[in-house]
Structure 1
Amino acid sequence: KLHTTHSPQFLGLNPYKGAWPASDFGKDIIVGVIDTGVWPESESFNDKGMTKIPSKWKGQLCQFENTNNSSLCNKKLIGARYFNKGFLAKYSNISRTIVNTTRDISGHGTHTSSIAAGRRVDDASFVGLANGTASGIAPLSRLAIYKVVWGKDEVVSDALAGIDAAISDGVDVLSMSLGYNRNVPLYEDAIAIATFAAMEKGVFVSASAGNEGPSFNTMSNGIPWVTTVAASTLDREFHGNLTLGNGVSLTGFSFYLGEFSASNFPIVFMGMCDNIKELIKVKSKIVVCEDKNGTFLNFVKLINNVGGAKLVGSVIITNISNTDEFQFSYALPSIIINPKDGEIVKDFIKRTSGSGSIAKMSFKITSLGAKPAPSVDFYSSRGPSKICPYVLKPDITGPGTSILAAWPTNIPVLDFNSYNFGYFKLFNKFKFATGTSMSCPHVAG
């Protein structure tokens, strides 16, 4: 089976030879994760078949639900601590709403932790996409979680306290998918100072470069003694297929999760689809729309019209390649194709008429082998580091685009409400996420 994060296979990890068996799948290495906490009930953190906790572990706390000795820790998740004194001092007006727990209420920490060290979980998928077996990079390692992020703001003193605790507890590796002020000199940077202490104790530190690319001088964590991780693509893509009445089949990007009829439908070209009243008249047909200007604002208007008209299906021609802009695709039976393939579709519609202008669509197709891959993705922050420009940064890249990993079951993987699309909320044990936050734990693992 494919690993649903796919990255272990993509990186050449083989369960029978090479780095995985040579390292015993990371057995007894303690990975500390500095993040938003963890969802301990996730199957990715089960301890079935694991041996006793190594004696080098000095941690004593498992902080969930207002207790220091929660039974939610096990031989996999061996420690869980929270740090929020800095956050509460800065935001004293909301202190009553903060629950003292390492439990993840955003999903970010659960996702990154399972990438680094999650156990093998069979039959994992994102509602049918990328179905297979999920596995972290070091599936037999131990996890220690340090929750230092509360809400959208990150207070550096809490991160400093978390790093110090991790060193004291005896972690071997630190994964930090977060960033602070990138303009502070090293001697004033609390994270630089804390990670220097980690380095002195032999702790390997992996930190995310940030998601503010592709411009230069945008990276965070440009610290010489930290491994700064950029983000790259996988060779995996998610598709829908459009088969025209003449048998020609075209493939385009689609995340549509619903069911769709295998029947042929009439297909029409409606230009830029800028008139929703006209779209409603043809809503029982597959409608082809063209984003001629290739600008985000025009694209959004086109999508809103398509959603509002409640078309049976749509084909959108655009040169926008950033798939993060296609979140609507989860709820809309649509396929996004490039202008070159768009010309084929438009020519077919032009040459046929009446009952001949038909097509059918299919969805939930996962394919491998996309090229070029890996390549540094557009969002990944670039160097050089402003605080230390004479050291080449980032150090390395890792898989960061559309990574499937564990997710809390009480936090929706999709949650949006718009006038045109209506309310759409979906829960799942695994979620796709994109960013250097995802590449960082790959390197940590």
Structure 2
Amino acid sequence: MGFNKKMKTSIIESDIIIGMLDTGVWPESESFNDTGFGPIPKKWKGTCQKSANFTCNNKIIGARYYLTDGDNGPEDFISPRDAEGHGTHTTSTAAGGLVSQASLFGIAKGTVRGGVPSARIAVYKICWSYGCSDEGILAAFDDAIADGVDIISLSVGSFIPFDYFEDSIAIGAFHAMKKGILTSNSAGNGGPTPGSVVNVSPWSLTVAASTIDRKFVTKVKLGNGQIYEGATINTFDLKGKMYPFIYGGDAPNLTLGVASEFSRYCYPGALNATLVKGKIVFCEYFTDYEGVLEAGALGAVNPTATIFKTSQDNNQFAPFVVSFSSRGPNPITADILKPDLTAPGVDILAAWSEASTVTEDDTRRTRYNIISGTSMSCPHATGAAAYVKSFHPTWSPAAIRSALMTTAIPMTSNNNIEGEHAYGAGHINPLQATDPGLVYDAGEIDYVKFLCGQGYTIANIQLISGNSSSCSEETDGTVWDLNYPSFALSSTPGKSITRVFHRTVTNVGSAVSNYRAVVNAPPGLIIQVQPSVLSFEYVGQQQSFVVTVGAELGNSMISGSLIWDDGVHQVKSPIVAYTSIML
């Protein structure tokens, strides 16, 4: 991300408050040490909910929890304290302080820090062992808004997308947007399935997950001396000792009626504990190690005799969007491009709850852990958004999102065949985002127009807005006229399509400036921009333009772009035409 500790910081960064809606936090982590912090910002109206085992400080300035009957398990703390680790990890990623010599049992040793280490943290524990309730999510949004947070981070999502009026996260984010608070959301871990992206409301920031410039590899050594390596993390050191191995298909758990056709995948409960104990198990394909470890095996690899502890290497192909990151197209509104952008979400080292073990059936505790997911990329974007907010405290949520999107580092379909449906506008670039030149702004009325134009009933719009919003000729807009920093159009396969987009940009760069439209239109895509030059005379001035896009669609997608260039700023927006089976 180019976001090193020598970066320029704002004098008001310590006044920025990030609301973390997650599994709580482990407050004693060194990442949340408040040494050197001044008094709590005067704008803060929240509280540290009283609990026998939780204390706030000048870093974690507020904490609440929301428990719905049936959500908690015996291992949960009935307090804002994190029993699982997820919330501690995301919180320290967004705003943790500098901690040297952090590692996962010696792996990835170095200095960790969050995106905005001087920012304050407000914790809203909405998730428990058995889930995250809609009631808790909505109550947490209400409290975070009233408490005075500046940015909300939510690394939570459904397995399937819900329409906006049925989605507690989208509803909560709309209310936050009305109060000037941007919500940063994870895009989901349902990739690479097309249309798997969640948290797609156009008033939120939707974040995909991409790789970082280092990778972790584990080597295995066969009995004949051959060595192979794979991308995984192994924290155990077998010290080169050779162990017998067994094929999962030869160790079915017959007591539970498991056949070898199933045990070969090493799913939980599928293996015979007696046969695999003390051995290395060869599994044909599986998604996690729970089945192997619970049966008493040492590990799981292709046929091998010993497993070495993980080592670190450079990832020369980074960044690219990881396979598990959910993909577009947008399943709710086809012509709003989602995800918006991508951020680091693979093998992220961050703080961890000391109440949680590293893996199942593992008694070891760690203060820092390495995990992956769009849950990890979301707080990277949250930190970047807070960083932009610290320089521009009056900017709207849409303006901050626009700055992050239009300054994102371009990516190509060479590593991600899904193109913008994988990475949106590109890879996040926080330092550049503080000076985007132009922003695409939008507010409540713009989103109501969008909803009216999409045919939502007044009753459903009011479920989202929480007020008496209504539709009329003045508030009936098309999806293509929502002032979004990206452009998307879709149709059925084999058709030609033309769409007209109306956009307005606000000058936040040089007072006197002239921007020229630079269009990238590959074969099959025709892009016209009128006017092709935008002239500004003062900061805050707005100029409007029209983009007409024509596409000859086969059975795939065509990607182009529009860049407004003044010689200093390059304000880039992706333009994507694609065929959709969901129309």
The alignment's TM-score, normalised by the length of structure 1, stands at: 0.71
Any residues of structure 2 matched to 1:253-268 within 5 Å, and which?
A: 253=231, 255-261=233-239
Q: Aligned pair 1:35/2:22, yes or no?
A: yes
Task: Report the counterpart of residue 104 of structure 2 in structure 1.
Answer: 126
Return closer, same or farther for 1:262/1:189 CA change in 2, 3 Å cut-off: closer
Q: State how far apart, in whole Å, the 1-side matches of 2:233 and 2:288 are.
A: 11
Residues 283-309 of structure 1 show CA distances to partners (whole Å, capped at 9, x for unaligned) of xxxxxxxxxxxx9853428x9689945
Unaligned runs of 5+ in 2: 252-260, 384-583
Report the 3-state secondary structure (helix = DSSP H, G, I; strand = E; otherwise coil) of the residue aligned with 1:441: helix
Q: Aligned pair 1:298/2:254, yes or no?
A: no
Return closer, same or farther for 1:44/1:161 CA change in 2, 3 Å cut-off: same
Return closer, same or farther for 1:141/1:256 CA change in 2, 3 Å cut-off: same
Q: Aligned pair 1:375/2:320, yes or no?
A: yes
Provide the aligned C-alpha RMSD in A: 3.9
Task: Report the counterpart of residue 8 of structure 1 in structure 2.
Answer: none
Q: Aligned pair 1:414/2:366, yes or no?
A: no
Any residues of structure 2 matched to 1:109-124 within 5 Å, and which?
A: 109-124=87-102
Shift of 1:336: 4.7
Q: State how far apart, in whole Å, the 1-side matches of 2:250 and 2:382 are.
A: 50
CA contact (8 A) 1:119 1:136 kept: yes
Shift of 1:23: 4.1
Shift of 1:262: 5.3
Q: State how far apart, in whole Å, the 2-side matches of 1:26 and 1:200 are.
A: 23
CA contact (8 A) 2:23 2:84 kept: yes
Greater share of residues in helix: 1
Q: Which amino acid aligns with 2:93?
A: I
CA contact (8 A) 1:64 1:100 kept: no
Unaligned runs of 5+ in 1: 1-10, 277-294, 346-359, 417-423
CA contact (8 A) 2:186 2:377 kept: yes
Task: Report the counterpart of residue 127 of structure 2 in structure 1.
Answer: 149
Shift of 1:132: 1.8
Task: Report the counterpart of residue 428 of structure 1 in structure 2.
Answer: 366
Q: Which amino acid aligns with 1:439?
A: S
CA contact (8 A) 1:76 1:142 kept: yes
Q: State how far apart, in whole Å, the 2-side matches of 1:327 and 1:240 are.
A: 20
Q: State how far apart, in whole Å, the 2-side matches of 1:64 and 1:105 are.
A: 17
Match of 2:57 among 69, 74, 78: 74
Shift of 1:35: 1.2
Q: Which amino acid aligns with 1:83?
A: Y
Shift of 1:242: 5.5
Shift of 1:409: 1.1
Q: Which amino acid aligns with 2:66?
A: F
Q: Which amino acid aligns with 1:150?
A: W
Q: State how far apart, in whole Å, the 1-side matches of 2:28 and 2:319 are.
A: 33
Q: Aligned pair 1:396/2:341, yes or no?
A: yes
Q: Which amino acid aligns with 1:48?
A: T
Any residues of structure 2 matched to 1:318-329 within 5 Å, and which?
A: 324=288
Residues 6-33 of structure 1 show CA distances to partners (whole Å, capped at 9, x for unaligned) of xxxxx222222xxx32446943321110
Task: Report the counterpart of residue 13 of structure 1 in structure 2.
Answer: 3
CA contact (8 A) 1:37 1:147 kept: yes
- Which structure carries more relative contact order (alpha carbon 8 Å, separation 6+)? 1
Shift of 1:179: 1.8
Any residues of structure 2 matched to 1:139-288 within 5 Å, and which?
A: 139-180=117-158, 183-241=161-219, 250-253=228-231, 255-261=233-239
Q: State how far apart, in whole Å, the 1-side matches of 2:250 and 2:308 are.
A: 27
CA contact (8 A) 1:254 1:363 kept: no
CA contact (8 A) 1:239 1:363 kept: no
Match of 1:83 among 66, 74, 86: 66
Percent identity over paired residues = 40
Report the 3-state secondary structure (helix = DSSP H, G, I; strand = E; otherwise coil) of the residue aligned with 2:31: helix
Task: Report the counterpart of residue 36 of structure 2 in structure 1.
Answer: 49
CA contact (8 A) 1:254 1:329 kept: no
Task: Report the counterpart of residue 444 of structure 1 in structure 2.
Answer: 382
Q: Which amino acid aligns with 1:298?
A: R
Report the 3-state secondary structure (helix = DSSP H, G, I; strand = E; otherwise coil) of the residue aligned with 2:51: coil
Return closer, same or farther for 1:24/1:121 CA change in 2, 3 Å cut-off: farther
CA contact (8 A) 2:25 2:81 kept: yes
Q: Which amino acid aligns with 2:200?
A: G
Return closer, same or farther for 1:185/1:253 CA change in 2, 3 Å cut-off: closer
Return closer, same or farther for 1:99/1:12 CA change in 2, 3 Å cut-off: closer
Q: State how far apart, in whole Å, the 2-side matches of 1:108 and 1:274 are.
A: 34
Shift of 1:311: 6.5
Return closer, same or farther for 1:64/1:414 CA change in 2, 3 Å cut-off: farther
Task: Report the counterpart of residue 288 of structure 1 in structure 2.
Answer: none
